Chain A
Amino acid sequence: MVNVASNPALSTQAGPVILPTGAPDASMVRVRGLAKAFGTNVVLSDVSLGVEAGSVTAMIGPSGAGKSTVLRCLNLLERPDSGLIQIGRHSIDVEKGILPANLAELRRSAGMVFQSFNLFPHMSVLRNVSLPQQRVLGRSRAEADEVSHRLLERMGLRDKSSQYPNRCSGGQQQRIAIARALALEPEVMLFDEPTSALDPEVGAEVLEVMRELASEGMTMVVVTHEMRFAANVSDQLVVMADGQIIECGDPHQIMSDPQHPRTQRFLKAVLDR
């Protein structure tokens, strides 16, 4: 047990705490000095970012800007060359080396949703959601199935649990993937272009689920090309280009009055079509 009274970092969070976080400030996710290069090809250079607990951060920018790479570095799917990554209470300083136990904890605190869903095609929808709970959280099959049924119900997929993923539409598959990640009770959800592989109508179902999640106070980082979602749902907008964050702040502010010329060009291209 942590003694809250004797820990100034924790006792500052007096009021109603929505999500349990031991972080010294309101940041749920914190990235400092993230850098990555493949040979001479610099993918990320000195990326720093903070995401407040319960907030939604949208990352936009042209293809190849490094948005997905930042997201994938957050749970170390991609290993950065240097930088500090912190999610909730777990932090990793890449240069100091990565301990397997530390890595496992960091990954546990972040749920990830991929562009291509990446559901396991040889398992039923229910098994897809239950198996990780059994393997990662050590839940019994019955406990896991109970959680899965609840989440699938919430995603509007109650009658799909015995189906196989490939029998489901793209929008359904992505919602299953969201349920699978949520079942592990992550502190933050990472979305890597969750609607890019879907046609617009089906994508809307997924965005609706994400909007609901956001309104329930889930901390979210979303790499997206959905400008309306970025403008209306996010609390913080991050614009990336050439491996750097070129603009970061209030989404409406940036959308209506972008400062960086690259942002102006990008927004003009995507909004005036």
Chain B
Amino acid sequence: MEALRTVLLGLPMTLGVTAGALLIGTALALPLTLGLELRRGPVWFLCRVIVDLVRGVPPVAWLFILFYGVSVGAVRLSALSAGIGALGLVASAYLAEIFRGSLKSIHFGQAEAATALGLSRGAAWVDVIGPQAWRTALPAYTNYAIALLKDSSIVSIVGVAEIVSRSGQLSRTSDLGIFVFVLAGAVYVVLSILVASGSRRLHRRLHEAVAV
């Protein structure tokens, strides 16, 4: 019971890191997606390089780079902000590819109709293309979110007190040993199932009306 309490104490931090990284990742992914959509030119090239570079370097390496290598003035990034930053950075590259894929699946007639009706480019994105792309991206997006939920455990390396970090501590200081990690694993499984079923329900609701 004590073990479960300790593991659950790390839950808010795990959820916080995941949500924070997802938020940063999504915010950075949107301009990257638009850049990739240009398909040529210097802006496209820059975005392409960023995505490939960010994806190509392991998340742990980004974590170390941000934690040990980046300082704002004389102050180094805290473990938490370095963790959220590293995971958010990596997420932005993957999410940009997910968004780009979902944009591809939208019939070109949608943009054409928006143009013919005289909608501005902004309105076409916000009212017509964006909402449809979001629907298509949702399954892949939640899939990434679930992966991120578990990958968030790498921030324990720099000492953020989330589930895995707390489990490790307890495991070392008690005689529960591997049992703590089994418990932590179970918590992750429950979380993943909750996120997945929530996403499926949302997806079904969105498609019930539209029935593409």
Contacts and interface: CB of A to CB of B under 8 A. Distances in A.
Q: Do A and B bind each other?
A: yes
Interface of A: 75, 77, 104, 107-108, 110, 112, 114, 116, 118-122, 131-132, 135-136, 164, 166-167, 180-181, 184
Contact of A184 (B118, B132, B210, B212): B118
B117 A180 contact: yes
Interface of B: 107, 109-110, 112-113, 115-120, 123, 127-128, 131-132, 135, 209-212
A132 B119 contact: yes
A164 B211 contact: yes
Which of A116, A119, A135 counts the most chain B CB atoms within 10 A?
A135
Contacts of B132: 120-122
Contacts of A120: 110, 113, 127-128, 132
A139 to B, nearest CB: 13
Nearest to B131: A122
Contacts of A118: 107, 109-110, 112-113
Which of A77, A112, A122, A132 counts the most chain B CB atoms within 10 A?
A122
A107 B120 CA distance: 11
- Where chain B touches its partner, the secondary structure class is helix
Nearest to B130: A122
Given A112-B113, A135-B127, 18 more contacts: A77-B112, A77-B116, A107-B117, A108-B118, A112-B116, A114-B113, A116-B107, A118-B110, A118-B112, A120-B127, A122-B131, A132-B118, A135-B119, A136-B118, A136-B119, A166-B212, A167-B211, A184-B117
A181 B116 CA distance: 9
Contacts of B135: 122
Which of A104, A107, A132 counts the most chain B CB atoms within 10 A?
A132
Given A77-B112, A114-B109, A118-B112, A132 B117 contact: yes
B211 A116 contact: no
B168 to A, nearest CB: 46
A121 B113 contact: no
A118 B131 CA distance: 15
B47 to A, nearest CB: 25
A167 B208 CA distance: 10
Contact of B117 (A116, A122, A181): A181
A253 B210 CA distance: 47
Contacts of A107: 115-118
12 contacts: A114-B112, A116-B107, A118-B107, A119-B113, A120-B110, A120-B128, A122-B131, A132-B118, A135-B120, A164-B210, A166-B210, A184-B118
Contacts of A164: 209-211
A132 B123 CA distance: 9
B139 to A, nearest CB: 16
Top 6 nearest A-B pairs (CB, nearest first) are A118-B113, A118-B109, A112-B116, A132-B117, A136-B118, A107-B118
Contact of A122 (B115, B123, B210): B210
A166 B112 contact: no
A135 B131 contact: no
A78 B138 CA distance: 33
Given A114-B109, A118-B109, A75 B131 contact: no
A146 B116 CA distance: 22
Contacts of A184: 117-118
A135 B123 CA distance: 7
